[in-house]
Structure 1
Amino acid sequence: MESTNGTKPTDPVPQDAPPHRCQQCSSRIVALHYPIDKHGKNGGVDMEKRVTENWVIRRRSRQQRQTNQDLFKMLAPPEALPHLKCSACTKHLSYFPVYVSQNSESTKLGTLCGRCSENLIVNERNYVRDTLYETMAQFIKFPCIYHSEGCIESLIPADVPNHERNCPYRIISCALDCVWQGTVHELCTHIEDTHQNVLIRNGEFEMDILNSYETYSFLVHEDEIFNLKRKYNSTDKIFTCSLFSYKVLDTVTNHYYEVTVFNGNRNLSVKFPLRRAENFKEDNVTVIDVEKVKRQLDDPSIIIGSIRIFTLDNQKEEKPTPKNPYTELELSMLNELECPVCFEYMIPPIFQCDGGHSICSNCKSQIKECPTCKEEIDDTHNFALEKMAQLIHYRCKFNELGCNYRAKPDEMKQHQTFCLFGPHQCPLKDYENCKWAHAAKEIYPHIVSKHHENLLEIDHVQVFMGDDYLTQEEDLCYIKKFSDALFKLHYRFSQNCFYWSMQLIGPPDEARKYRFEIDVLDNTNSNQKIFLRNFCAPLTDKNETFNQDSPHVFLKLEQIQPLLTDQLNYFIRIIK
Structure 2
Amino acid sequence: MAKSAKSVTDVLLQKNILHCAICKNLLLSTPVMLVENAGNLCSTCYNENFLESKCLQNTALEELVTTLSYPCRFRENGCEHWSSSGDLLDHEENCRYRSKKCPMYSICQCVWEGFPTEFVGHFINCHGEHIINFENSLFYLDITFSEEELIKLLVMKNIILLLKMQLSLEKNKLFYVVCNVKDDGSNYDYSVKHKGNSESYIKTRSRVLDSNYVYKSVDECDAVSVDLLSLQQTVKVTNRITNIFKIKTYDTPVHYIGERMLHFFECPVCKSFMKPPIYQCQSGHSICNTCKPRLEKCPTCRAPFGMTRNYSLEGLTAGVSYPCIYHDLGCMMSLSPAEISRHEAVCPYKPYNCPLPQCTMSGSHDIITNHLQEFHSDHVVVSDSHGYAESFRLEQHSLYNHIFDRKVLLAFDHIFRLTCKRVSDYCMWAAEAIGVQSELKNFVYEVSIIDVRRPEKRLIRTDYCLNEMPEEDLFKKCIMFPNSILSSYSSHGMVSYHFKIKKGV
TM-score, normalising length: structure 2: 0.49
Higher relative CO (Cα under 8 Å, sequence separation at least 6) belongs to 2
Structure with greater strand share of residues: 2
Rg larger in structure: 1
TM-score, normalising length: structure 1: 0.44
